[in-house]
Amino acid sequence: MPLTNTATHYGGVTKTFHWLTALLIITLIPLGIYANGLPYDTSEELARKAWLFSLHKTLGVTVFFVALARIAWALSQPKPALLHPDRKLESLAAETVHWLLYGSLLLVPLSGWIHHAATAGFAPIWWPFGQNLPLVPKSESLAATTAGLHIVFERVLAASILLHAAGALKHHLIDRDSTLRRMLPGRPVVPDVTGAHRVVLPVLAAVVVWAGALATGSALGVYDQHGDTVQAAALEDVQSDWAVEDGTLSIVVKQLGSDVTGSFADWTAAISFDETVTEGPAGSVDVTISVGSLTLGSVTSQALGADFFNATAFPTAQFTADILRTDGGYVAEGTLTIKEASVPVTLPFTLDVADGVAVMQGETTLDRRDFAIGDSQKDESSLGFSVGVTVNLTATEG
């Protein structure tokens, strides 16, 4: 069997690309649906779900590059002539479906890949080139949009595959021609036809289908952020000798061996501080955190759920501490209360004060088990016990 195409037959390379792509797709779609429906309440369930999603993502990236190679090869080869050029409407439909297939084979994995790169955590792609993509930021809104696009493009792909398969079976069982046999091993006898393929009209028709699918997805709200959302507690303004002008409160957890960084968008700090103190007590701080304002990559909903922060029942967390000046700098020694657990915490920090403006940076490490967070995740290989906390703020003296 020749490797290249001719005016009447597909070559071995084209056939290999066709059936390899078919095998990957009929594996990927059911795999993604199955993995998405699995629970993740325990370490074992999370590990299983993550493994299947990693397989799904890795095969998806494989499909993307196979599709690129397949399209490049197709552009370099003659396309066998239409067997029924006189059936213009049927030929237009078949060629439109072909363009939908080619485009969707790129759009489906690419949208999933961008969604993966825009989030942090959960299931990694199994390859040595990292998990990020150039020009793709970590963004909850971008992740939600591309997740919706992935669903829409996947539906177009699935419909195109069904139409493509139905057309092939119609030719084989009803028309009894060589359309399907031309893509099977061997070299079937075909009539001497010269039906030319159209490009512009089928491409335009495919674009119209994609546009309609995208509009339908927008009307259904598939590009919006989904999941179990928690209403973040609104915090009242606090009286403070030092007013926080800017700051971040972030955490780092290790999930399945990879760091996942998140942050709380809403928190307040009532600070009293005497910069003239050279040793001993120099002030106090009372921090209130809106737990529901947490974003933590792809696992935000899980983190806010009942087994973790339980933000619905415990909407705020509290850190109350004394500020002490030591030989090595400053520490905040106090108590952190999350859910119903109050735990002693020491937060070392650096402090630069100039012209009534204080810049503070501090880091500490907590153990999630002290606060009954993630009790179902007893295996540290699934979810690490240590949680890194980083605080950065700029405050002005009031």
What are the domain boundaries of the chain? 12-220, 242-397
Q: What are the residues facing 295 on neighbouring strands?
A: 263
| pLDDT above 70: percentage of residues in the chain | 98
- Domain 242-397 of CATH type 2.40.128.110: yes
Angle between helices 88-118 and 140-169 (to 10 degrees): 150
Give me the numbers of helices (H) and strands (E) for the chain, helices first please: 6, 10
pLDDT at 197 > cutoff 80:
no
Closest CA to 104 of 143, 156, 29: 156
Could you report the per-residue pLDDT of 292-347, keeping only the tens digit for each? 999 998 888 889 999 999 999 999 999 999 999 998 899 999 999 999 999 999 99
pTM: 0.82
CATH number of 12-220: 1.20.950
Q: Would you state the structure tokens that stand for residue 304, as one six-digit string? A: 């806010």
- The stretch 65-75 carries a mean pLDDT of 95
The pLDDT, as a whole number, for residue 229 is 63
CA dihedral 297, 302, 303, 304 (to 10 degrees): 120
Residue 47's CB is within 10 A of a number of other CB atoms, namely 16
Note the pLDDT of residue 192: 74
From residue 247, alpha-carbon distances to 74, 277, 337, 394, 398 in Å are 54, 24, 21, 6, 17
Mean pLDDT in the chain?
A: 92
Q: What is the mean pLDDT of residues 137-158?
A: 94
More confident residue, 299 or 195: 299
pLDDT of residue 268: 96
Q: Are strands 258-264 and 329-338 parallel, antiparallel or unpaired?
A: unpaired
